[in-house]
Amino acid sequence: RHKISIAIDGPAAAGKSTVAKIIAEHYAYIYIDTGAMYRALTYKAIQENIDLNNELEVANVLSSIKIELKPANDGQIVLINGEDVTDVIRTNQVTNQVSIVAMHPKVREEMLKRQRLLASNGGVVMDGRDIGTHVLPKAEVKIFLKASVEERALRRHQENIKKGFESDLTKLTNEIANRDKLDSEREIAPLKKASDAIEIDTTSMTIQDVVRTIENYIEERL
Ligand code: C5P
């Protein structure tokens, strides 16, 4: 069977990466978490004490780093110039500032290049915000995953508790809503459903339900 490209977009904490990983594994495709790339850049820029609002300086940090996404047992590991940053790019500090970094046109331009290169051989499941609209406009399968902000915050909250992390549901809800707002209202490649994407509202669906729905859709297109 020929290898296609699968784009999965949607707001924060909608379950994109969970579902994308399962689907990639099923088809033996490469999974590319584009959010991790923006997070890696944000982490590095914070470390270097860069003003995140300064587009040129942030873009310069990006040109100085190699970001690698490598498959691992439970998903993928993220490396910056060879250093494992898988966990540190998920801190609140990074999460709550990544949307500022992701607004800059020069940053998005470079990310777009890198992401297209990673996907150039097909056989990829790529998740993010602008994959169906900008990065892979010709993807054979485009999915837009959404869920109510309350449900998304609740899922994150339960994940945090399970991991033994401190978690405040109200705060999480506000942070997620704020990130969605910044991602949806930015000038360049905002979070938006592609006109040819199928929209799945996962609010009252299990992960299994979502995966099954997407795989049925993929099967029609292989
Ligand atoms: O997917 P994740 O929540 O890890 O993404 C982190 C942030 O990276 C998003 O909130 C958004 O600001 C940015 N992002 C983006 N375009 C993508 C993927 C992520 O702007 N394709």
Residue 17 labeled ligand binder: yes
Residue 145 Cβ inside 6 Å of ligand 1? The answer reads: no
Whose Cα sits closest to atom 20 in ligand 1?
102
SS3 220: coil
Intervals of the chain under pLDDT 50: none
Residues 6+ apart with CB under 8 A from 170: none
- Residue 203 CB coordination number (10 Å): 12
Predicted pLDDT of residue 180: 97
Q: Which residue minimizes the CA distance to atom 5 of ligand 1?
A: 35
Nearest CA to ligand 1 atom 11: 99
Bridge partner residues of 77 (DSSP): 70
CB of 128 shorter than 6 A to ligand 1? yes
Which of 90, 112, 129, 159 to mutate for ligand 1's pocket (most ligand atoms within 8 Å of CB)? 129
- SS3 labels along 87-156: CHHHCHHHHCCHHHHCCCHHHHHHHHHHHHHHCCCCCEEEEECCHHHHHCCCCCEEEEEECCHHHHHHHH
What does pTM read for this prediction? 0.97
ipTM of the complex: 0.99
* List of domains in the chain: 5-214 (3.40.50.300)
pLDDT for residue 52: 98
